[in-house]
Amino acid sequence: MTYLEILRHLIACDTTTGHATPAAVEWIASYLKPLGGVATHRVRSADGARASLIICIGEGARPLLLSGHLDVVPAGAGWTMPPFALTETPDKVFGRGTTDMKGAIAVALSLIPDIVAHGKSACIVLTPDEEVAGTGVHEALDALDRLGILPRAAGCIVMEPTGLEVLLGQKESVIGVIEVHGKTAHSSDPAQGANALAGAMAAYGAFYGALKPFQDRSDAAFQVPHCVADITLFQSGIAANMIPDKAEMAYSGRFLDAAQKEAFMRALSEALMRLPLPAGVSVAHRETAGLRGFATDAGDAFARRILTHAPMAAYPKVSYGTEAGCFSARGIPTLILGPGRIAQAHQPDEFIEKGQLDDWRRLLWQIVLDFG
Ligand SMILES: [Zn+2]
């Protein structure tokens, strides 16, 4: 099957935010069944809602891991063509997930018969929920460990869109909330209550005050060379004539590394504790989600070998999150390399250039020959 035929099936499977990934996994398993020389391992979450697929091709002593996520972000508004049916033009293909990242996956799957025929090996790891919870990757990594693959892996390529340039790191990201509690009262007698909004205004200032000293450190490998963090959501009050008893602010932060993130979280806690709050108002904050950052040294043996096949990006570290941090955290040399551009991801009329997919097929084949 050509990669475009495979991509047509993958796009038709609506894997928005993880749902229907079990169906996509079953389709891929049925495609692989007649090929032979391939062992597949399905990894299901306890509730059956998520499914990862591990595809082991050949019996290499030091398998190369190729990682991709099967889920896509919601289609959203603004499409001029069906998001869940592949639309082909002479030089592009359109559909939700063509760039992020079913195009790269389809090419990897299309290479399997060649890998088998040449007696080479590789291990493709497909995860179900990168765009949402990101829990499936941990289940898949645990399974890779049980299968004895993780300790032997030569390295991992996370096939996210990089325009076929090698990325060697990403920021450590965190999402958190600051909760402010007070006491509600009729607005005609505010002294009976404690206005949570007053606490929230103070916490807002404390957040940026805590961040400031961290922004002095920079790393030129990132296009945005320092850490960033912002308060991005705010909610409070239910009626104009009531003193609000609750205010909630969410924040998003991206840090140069885990140590910097941890230090900021401590500084924020301390700043909030020191706040001069009105009587009856309290403030707390907690982390609600995060993605591990990673940094692979350009001199690392695995990175050096991949860099003989593909160039390093002008800014080899990126500020967005991928599952690369999860692989790296398990001690596997990891980098990000795939077709398409990140700017095309998460957009209406998402597309990928066929030239990128053709080049990816040639590049990936060279890499598999080198490692297999
Ligand atoms: Zn992605």
CA dihedral 269, 273, 278, 280 (to 10 degrees): 90
Q: What pLDDT, on the 0 to 100 scale, is given for residue 112?
A: 97
**Residue 282 sits in the same domain as residue 308:** no
**Residue 159 sits in the same domain as residue 215:** no
Q: What pLDDT, on the 0 to 100 scale, is given for residue 238?
A: 95
How many A from CA of 62 to the centre of ligand 1?
26
Tokens of 333: 């040399």
How many A from CA of 37 to the centre of ligand 1?
29
How many A from CA of 159 to the centre of ligand 1?
8
How many A from CA of 329 to the centre of ligand 1?
18
How many A from CA of 320 to the centre of ligand 1?
10
Domain that holds residue 59: 3-169+293-371
Q: What pLDDT, on the 0 to 100 scale, is given for residue 21?
A: 86
How many A from CA of 318 to the centre of ligand 1?
13
**Residue 313 sits in the same domain as residue 328:** yes
Asked if residues 265 and 237 have their Cβ atoms less than 8 Å apart, the reply is no
**Residue 248 sits in the same domain as residue 309:** no
Q: What pLDDT, on the 0 to 100 scale, is given for residue 101?
A: 96
Provide the phi-psi class of 39: left if phi over 0, else alpha when psi is between -120 and 50, else beta. Answer: beta
Q: What pLDDT, on the 0 to 100 scale, is given for residue 91?
A: 97
Q: What is the CATH number of the domain that holds 255?
A: 3.30.70.360
**Residue 262 sits in the same domain as residue 297:** no
Q: What is the pLDDT along the chain (372 residues), one digit of tens a residue?
A: 999 999 999 999 999 986 778 899 999 999 999 988 899 999 988 777 888 999 999 988 899 999 999 999 999 999 999 999 999 999 999 999 999 999 999 999 999 999 999 999 999 999 998 888 788 999 999 999 999 999 999 999 999 999 999 999 999 999 999 999 999 999 999 999 999 999 999 999 999 999 999 999 999 999 999 999 999 999 999 999 999 999 999 999 999 999 999 999 999 999 999 999 999 999 999 999 888 999 999 999 999 999 999 999 999 999 988 999 999 999 999 999 999 999 999 999 999 999 999 999 999 999 999 998
How many A from CA of 101 to the centre of ligand 1?
5
Asked if residues 322 and 130 have their Cβ atoms less than 8 Å apart, the reply is yes
How many A from CA of 160 to the centre of ligand 1?
5
How many A from CA of 64 to the centre of ligand 1?
20
- End-of-domain residue from the set 268, 291, 314: 291
User: CA-to-CA distance for 112 and 156, rounded, in angstroms?
Assistant: 17
**Residue 323 sits in the same domain as residue 335:** yes
How many A from CA of 29 to the centre of ligand 1?
22
How many A from CA of 154 to the centre of ligand 1?
23
Q: What pLDDT, on the 0 to 100 scale, is given for residue 61?
A: 87
- Provide the residue type at 74 as one letter: P
